[in-house]
Amino acid sequence: MKRPNVLAIHSIDHFALDVPDLEEARVYFTTFGLDVRDEGDGLALYTFGNSHCWARLSQGPAKKLRYLSFGIYAEDEAAFAEHLAAKGVNKIPAPARAIEGGIWFEGFDGLPLNIRVAEKATPTDKSEFTTISAGPGECGAVFNSSAPKIRPRRMSHFAIYTSDVVAATKWYEETLGLRLSDGSGPVVAFLHGAHGSDHHLLALVGSTHCGMHHSSWDVSSVQEVGLGSAQMLRGGYPKGWGVGRHVLGANYFYYATDPWGSHAEYSADIDFIPADCEWASNANHDPGDSFYLWGPNVPEGFVDNTEPNGT
């Protein structure tokens, strides 16, 4: 489904990240349950059973978000080129080691952005959510020795730091056609895709400068969120947050902190906003009533931007 007469990106196609140690990244994301492949001089992140590449990782002196690439429909390519020119965006060459193609330009906070014709990676309907319960007289035990390895189905959304949540929200709305779902003033904003997406495909988190906060990955149940948390703990990654349930977006979550201070989230049952839905957006939820409904206390440093400030 496509919202008629609306010029907007339809997906986050992929993100690109520098990390100081590619082998460390391979172990972390493999433990998380992703299909980590060697491509070019770096790594590429896939989900098992899905041909879409969600992320490209390269070696760098420190962890740094290099760029975001968004997907658009082929019939919108010419209109988007005219739109970006009218907005006066600063076109730039493709960054080193980036996939060629599409239009490259400077985004809010100077983050390199790309739009390209691509298949819609964002779902067109709400992801299947399962609950499993044993009936009377049945054994519901899942033994540790036979617990399944959790493998996310797709990337749900991506969260970045920004120097000005309110101004960045307006910029992404006017430039890429994203729509505000919910927010909390200058603290955080959640943006969805006009052509149908999860409650947010891009989240904006207040900070002093740009950077990556987390990538979020869709799983099918609260059980899988919990099993994912155990998978990371047993794999040698003790830092994280959850299991819990968010308020805005309503998804169940567990965040596994990576070796560089950002996070990968297991997410289940997030709200979905169809292309024909006019979401009752609210930009000013009280911060105390907008983060999480239940779960452990937020760990120290969870929202700290660990990326260097500057190029």
Cis amide bond preceding 188, omega within 30: no
- SS3 at position 190: strand
pLDDT value at residue 116: 98
Q: Does residue 309 or residue 52 have the better pLDDT? A: 52
Q: How many CB atoms lie within 10 A of CB 1?
A: 11
- SS3 at position 159: strand
How far lies 197's CA from each of 11, 100, 138, 194, 237, in Å? 8, 26, 38, 7, 30
Q: Which helix (H) or strand (E) holds 252?
A: strand 252-257
Once rounded to an integer, what is the mean pLDDT over residues 81-92?
97
All structural domains of the chain with their residue ranges? 11-135+150-294
CA distance 29 to 36: 7
Q: What is the pLDDT of residues 93-148, one digit of tens each?
A: 999 989 889 999 999 999 999 999 999 999 999 999 998 889 999 999 999 989 99
Q: What is the pLDDT of residues 232-272, one digit of tens each?
A: 999 999 999 999 999 999 999 999 999 999 999 999 999 99
With beta carbons less than 8 A apart as the criterion, state whether 284 and 189 touch.
no
Superfamily of domain 11-135+150-294: 2,3-Dihydroxybiphenyl 1,2-Dioxygenase, domain 1 (3.10.180.10)
- Can you spell out the DSSP letters for 99-156? PP-SEEEE-GGG-EEEEEE----S-SSPPP-------TT------GGGPPPP---EEE
pLDDT value at residue 311: 55
- Is the whole-model pTM more than 0.75? yes
Q: Which pLDDT band, with edges at 50, 70 and 90, does 1 fall under?
A: confident
